[in-house]
Amino acid sequence: MVPETVFRNARIVLADDIVTGSLLVRDGVIAAIDPGTGREGEDMSGDYLIPGLVELHTDHLENHYRPRPGVFWDPLAALHAHDAQIAGSGITTVFDAVRIGSDVDLPDMLAHAQKLVDAVRAGQQAHWLRAEHFIHLRCELPSHDVVDHFDALADHPSTRLASVMDHTPGQRQFRSLEAYKNFYASQMGSNAAEAQAYLDARLAEHERYSGPNRQAIVSRARTMGIALASHDDATLAHVEQAEADGVAIAEFPTTLEAAAAAHEAGLSILMGAPNVVRGKSHSGNISATDLVAAGLLDILSSDYVPFALLQAAFVLPSRVAGLDLPRALATVTRNPARAAGFDDRGEIAPGKRADLVRVAADGPLRAVRGVWREGQRVS
């Protein structure tokens, strides 16, 4: 670890202000912030210096592992590519979402999930990862073996978050059957009879497994101290269930009603950064920007495009009246850090970890020009 580093001539984004000055890092921790240009050090040329981004839900590792249907990449190579893009997007803490629970498309999901989890743990142990990685288990409740998968993967310090989700047609994200059919068209068969059989099978699995599986996973997570997230809450009943289960994070609520209820219940509300960048949800649900304007959004997640996290944070102040850059950046730094139980990162302040990102102040895009994790340059 470099004992001491100084960054000078930077626009330093604090929790509630932006100051031009220098920042001193000592032994991987922020030691001092000085307005003005008195210190000597690495010249940031007026670029922004922001906290390292904290990502709670990204499917990006799975996309590298399975780049095409039926094609599975070496898990360590997939992790290497994923980690490089994560760090290059300014993300210094990442929760890699690993789906558990088999289905007709992947009948042996545990074998694939185990490879990805083992790869992350191997990368951590060997200290070659640029970002700090944790595991987020995406628990598909209608799957017959999801609890067995949870038991196989949860009992490890790297597993810090689990989300309970149900993508059954007519439920939550896919309240519209047409939206479900469009999203899963490749799996539903080529004619109406095959499509209906597929839908009927998914509904039967929901009726048989979702309730008992949720109860089992919630109980296990509580016992093991794993934070819980609900997924795609759409109704007051969904939020009431999440509150009763001790859920901390409401991921991707699909309606204003659900988001408002989750906020009232004290849940941290997470939405997708691609939703902000695109201006809408890919599945036709509520806009994340509308939730920000209503004061109902706490956390952004890159979901499936890592750079969207930084892009959305810098776009939001131009789209939401009265929202400044420090508060916009809190949705991708301080707020997710706190929701995940970290008080040592997510903010530029003395005593916090020197997880830092240099972001271009000018140009057509807020490009990442440098990334440091605990004071060490990683990108």
The string over 275-296, giving b where at least 16 C-beta atoms fall within 10 Å of a residue's C-beta and e elsewhere, is bbbbebbebebbbbbbbbbeeb
What is the total count of domains within the chain? 2
Task: Determine the pLDDT at residue 279.
Answer: 85
Task: Give the model's confidence band at 181: pLDDT under 50 very low, under 70 low, under 90 confident, else very high.
Answer: low
Regarding whether 217 and 251 lie in a shared domain, the answer is yes
Is-contact 190 224, C-beta < 8 A? no
Residue 184, pLDDT > 60, answer no
Strands 299-301 and 268-272: parallel
pLDDT digits (tens, 9 = 90+) for 6-51: 999 999 999 999 999 999 999 999 999 999 876 789 999 999 999 9
Distance in angstroms (rounded) separating the CA atoms of residues 38 and 184: 59
Regarding whether 144 and 250 lie in a shared domain, the answer is yes
Q: What is the mean pLDDT of residues 320-349?
A: 97
Mean pLDDT, the chain, rounded, equals 92
Task: Give the model's confidence band at 194: pLDDT under 50 very low, under 70 low, under 90 confident, else very high.
Answer: confident
Query: What is the domain extent for residue 44?
Result: 1-51+346-379
Residue 221, pLDDT > 90, answer yes
Q: CATH number of the domain that 6 lies in?
A: 2.30.40.10
Regarding whether 228 and 98 lie in a shared domain, the answer is yes
Residue 352, pLDDT > 80, answer yes
Q: CATH number of the domain that 254 lies in?
A: 3.20.20.140
The per-residue DSSP string of 219-276 comes to: HHHHHHT-EEEEES--SHHHHHHHHHTT--EEES--SHHHHHHHHHTTPEEEEEHHHH
pLDDT digits (tens, 9 = 90+) for 230-276: 999 999 999 999 999 999 999 999 999 999 999 999 999 999 999 99
Regarding whether 202 and 278 lie in a shared domain, the answer is yes
Task: Determine the pLDDT at residue 37.
Answer: 72
Is-contact 17 11, C-beta < 8 A? no
For 79, 141, 197, 336, the CA distances from 331, given in Å and listed in that order, are 25, 28, 42, 7
Regarding whether 352 and 302 lie in a shared domain, the answer is no
Q: Which residue has the tokens 């996973």?
A: 217
Residue 189, pLDDT > 60, answer no
Task: Determine the pLDDT at residue 364.
Answer: 86
Regarding whether 82 and 13 lie in a shared domain, the answer is no
CB neighbour class for 53 (10 Å; exposed up to 12, middle 13-18, buried from 19): buried
Regarding whether 43 and 181 lie in a shared domain, the answer is no
Q: How many CA atoms lie within 13 A of 304 on its CB side?
A: 8
φ/ψ region of 375 (left if φ > 0, alpha if ψ in -120 to 50, else beta) reads left
Regarding whether 302 and 256 lie in a shared domain, the answer is yes
Q: Which residues contact 107 (CB under 8 A, 6 or more apart)?
A: none
Regarding whether 357 and 284 lie in a shared domain, the answer is no
Regarding whether 280 and 180 lie in a shared domain, the answer is yes
Task: Give the model's confidence band at 179: pLDDT under 50 very low, under 70 low, under 90 confident, else very high.
Answer: low
Strand locations in 144-223 (E): 159-165
Regarding whether 222 and 110 lie in a shared domain, the answer is yes
Q: Which residue has the tokens 């309240």?
A: 175
CA 272 to chain CA mean position, Å: 8
Four-residue CA torsion sign, 179, 182, 185, 188: positive
Q: 328 is written with which tokens?
A: 């916009």
Is-contact 282 262, C-beta < 8 A? no
Task: Determine the pLDDT at residue 172.
Answer: 54
Task: Determine the pLDDT at residue 366.
Answer: 93
Regarding whether 353 and 290 lie in a shared domain, the answer is no
